[in-house]
A = this chain, B = another copy of it.
Amino acid sequence: MTSRERVRAVVDARWFNRFIIGVIVVNTIGLGLETSPDLMASHGTLIHTVDMTAIGIFIVELAAKFYAYRLRFFRDPWNWFDTVVVGVALVPAGETFAVLRALRIMRALRLISQVPSMRRVVTALLSAIPGLLSILGLLLLVLYTSAVVGVQLFRDAAPDLFGDLTTSLFTLFAVMTMEGWQGIAEEVMAVYPAAWVFFIGYIVVTAFIVLNLLIAVLVSTMENQLSAERWEEDQSIEAVQHARVMEELRMLHDRLDEVQAALPRQTGSPDDLDRAEPAGDQAETTRHAVPPDTALPPTEKPDRLPEPAT
């Protein structure tokens, strides 16, 4: 057992995973406490020490994983995620990097990559996105088109809402979430009374598209979860029933073999002329429509389950 194998055994161990999860939780709480100036004044040193220790452990952890798996380490996108999130902590965070300093809390999101059940949930969420791209594109196209129309028509009526394209996009995103849309519409309608056509049309169209986006997510989720399981169960019982019927039919063939063997031999019967089969067991397989071995066995069923398109 080389040192690489020993390191790999450690980083793959369950206790190691739990230890890292514990460090992430402690670090996450610590970063939350850092937001309190009072606590920072009284226990700042302790909180900083905990943060530094956590970062140190994470660096050792990732280095160990990289040592254990070498370039295969980068095949797992979650490892990329972990590396970037930990790497953010190492950037010198001055005033100019206030955002980067704020992003240190992203380390809390390492919980997603380390807790298996959350990892599964996020993977499932992300896997739904490709199937939504067309309808998301449509939504963005409607948003953009409406924003351009909004600027051109309502720029003078409500410059704070439709003054330029960015403002107009933000305003119409708010209208799409139905947030304060009535106030927005009334401000514009004070100048252009017919503007309700634009707003109600926009709300109805985007609500309908968003609804269908929602349904697309639902259908994709149900295809993956509900149906597959239930259907499998369904099919396996049917497969057992089918196998029994086939077995019974096979037995009937055997019985007929016996009957034929017991019959007084006759030459010149119409069947024998064009078949001329050997009697008895040897004939059995040729007379079966489906040889016993190729009959759909229940144990092979799962392989034939449809892979639902995502």
A-side interface residues toward B, CB under 8 Å?
A: 28, 31-32, 35-36, 98-99, 101-103, 105-106, 108-109, 111-112, 115, 117-118, 120-122, 124-125, 128, 133-135, 137-138, 141, 144-145, 148-149, 151-153, 155, 164-165, 168, 170, 173-174, 177-183, 185, 196, 200, 203, 208-209, 211-212, 214-219, 221-223, 225-227, 229-231, 233-235, 237-242, 244-266, 269-272, 274, 279-281, 287-290, 295-296, 304, 306, 308-309
Contact = CB atoms under 8 A, between A and B. Distances in A.
10 A-B pairs closest in CB distance: A270-B280, A247-B289, A261-B269, A102-B152, A248-B249, A35-B151, A105-B148, A117-B134, A233-B306, A174-B182
Contacts of A200: 170, 173
B223 A212 contact: no
A96 to B, nearest CB: 14
16 contacts: A32-B148, A102-B149, A102-B152, A108-B144, A109-B145, A118-B138, A125-B208, A223-B226, A234-B234, A239-B241, A248-B289, A249-B252, A254-B271, A256-B256, A261-B266, A261-B270
A89 to B, nearest CB: 14
A262 B253 contact: no
A164 B196 contact: no
A207 to B, nearest CB: 8
Contacts of A249: 245, 248-249, 252
Contact of A229 (B101, B238, B242, B306): B306
Contacts of A272: 258, 261
Contacts of A180: 179-180, 182-183
Contacts of A246: 244-245, 248
| Chain multiplicity (copies) | 4
Nearest to A260: B259
Contacts of A234: 231, 234-235
A258 B260 contact: yes
Nearest to A148: B105
Given A109-B141, A230-B231, A215 B218 contact: yes
Contacts of A145: 105-106, 108-109
Contacts of A152: 35, 98, 101-102, 105
A153 to B, nearest CB: 5
B258 A306 contact: no
A111 B141 contact: yes
B211 A219 contact: no
